[in-house]
């Protein structure tokens, strides 16, 4: 009985490690995708402002706005991805419902 419980715990820990590694790789890919997609989305949402041209001209207000909005969106996506990975790890460590 004790050996079976130890095997179950080891299997759950192994599953949690696999889920965290796979989730981390998927999370990195999603954050990179968000990092490339969100600045283009901001450009489309502000059609009358060319952010790159304004930043080159030294308009610091546009640079700060663009940077803050893009970084906040990327940070929000990272938090959601981290919560999903943590949920998978906790589900693996908890084991199957009996």
For residue 1, pLDDT beyond 70: no
Token pair 């999370």: residue: 27
Chain segment 16-73, per-residue pLDDT in tens: 788 888 888 888 888 888 888 888 887 888 888 888 888 889 888 888 888 888 888 8
pLDDT exceeds cutoff 60 at 98: no
Phi, psi of 7, deg, nearest 5: -65, -40
Number of other CB atoms surrounding residue 66 within 10 Å: 20
């Amino acid at each position: 009985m004790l050996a079976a419980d130890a095997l179950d715990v080891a299997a759950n820990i192994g599953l949690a490690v696999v889920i965290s590694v796979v989730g981390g790789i998927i999370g990195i890919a999603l954050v990179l995708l968000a990092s490339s997609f969100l600045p283009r989305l901001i450009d489309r949402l502000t059609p009358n402002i060319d952010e790159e041209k304004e930043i080159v001209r030294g308009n610091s207000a546009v640079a700060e706005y663009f940077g803050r909005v893009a970084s906040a969106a990327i940070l929000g996506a990272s938090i959601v991805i981290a919560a999903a990975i943590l949920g998978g790890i906790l589900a693996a460590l908890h084991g199957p419902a009996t």
